Amino acid sequence: KKRVAIFISGGGSNMVRLVEDMADPNHPAEPVLVLANSADAGGLAKAAAMGVPVVSVDHRPFKGDRPAFEAALQAELDKVTPDILCLAGFMRVLTEGFVAPWEGRMLNIHPSLLPKYKGLHTHARALEAGDAEHGCTVHMVTPLLDDGPILGQARITVQTADTPDTLAARVLTQEHKLYPACLRRFAAGDTTRVDL
Ligand code: GAR
């Protein structure tokens, strides 16, 4: 099986779905580590309860020294030798120094239909633009933020009564389907696009 590490920053609902999916004995991958950039990340307890090793590497003591923070992240990965790294709501920007060695083996989920709305506040921006459609994207990570080859997208229809919060909730439901589907294919060596 392919060994998967997952980086989170918060509640980790996408991480939970990935771990749940990997519980299938026929899944081509298994979770070997969940890492958060804060000990407060709610997802850590959920991962531990599912029997996945967890660790936190707090970014704050590094005071903006990204290379030093990233060296600490890589040191944790070196202990568990993952084949694949999944970012799942990891809210720290990773520099080229960290990303380049992982290129082709690192995935991210982003709450917009990329290439639209890279960065933050994607739901408010889709509403403001008057988009009829919105959604989420799983892509391979390259040194450019929210860029890189797309592995899958899930779409929702924007309703007139939608707010950023209602959109976020509907997109998150789709994220929970899209990310496990993409990881399954990717871990099996299949980069065919998933569309939901
Ligand atoms: C998800 O909506 C994910 O797409 C988004 O954060 C949320 C994390 O939720 N990621 C980003 O915005 C990355 N820039 P979760 O912790 O419940 O999975």
Q: Round to whole Å and give the CA distance between 107 and 190.
A: 14
- Ligand 1 cavity residues, CB under 6 Å: 8, 10-14, 43, 88-89, 91, 109-111, 172, 175
Nearest residue to 98 via CA among 75, 82, 127: 75
CA 111 / ligand 1 centre spacing (Å): 7
The reported pLDDT for the residue numbered 185 is 98
pLDDT tens, position by position, 120-148: 999 999 999 999 999 999 999 999 999 99
pLDDT tens, position by position, 142-184: 999 999 999 999 999 999 999 999 999 999 999 999 999 999 9
Nearest residue to 144 via CA among 95, 109, 105: 95
Nearest residue to 16 via CA among 6, 26, 3, 1: 6
Q: Round to whole Å and give the CA distance between 152 and 139.
A: 7
Count CA atoms closer than 13 A to 24's CA, side-chain side: 11
Total-model pTM: 0.97
Packing angle of the helix pair 164-187, 13-22 (nearest 10 deg):
30
Q: Which strand (E) or helix (H) includes residue 30?
A: strand 29-36
ipTM of this complex: 0.98
Mutating to test ligand 1, I would choose from 6, 141, 172 the residue with most ligand atoms within 8 A of its C-beta, which is 172
Please tell me whether 66 is known to bind a ligand.
yes
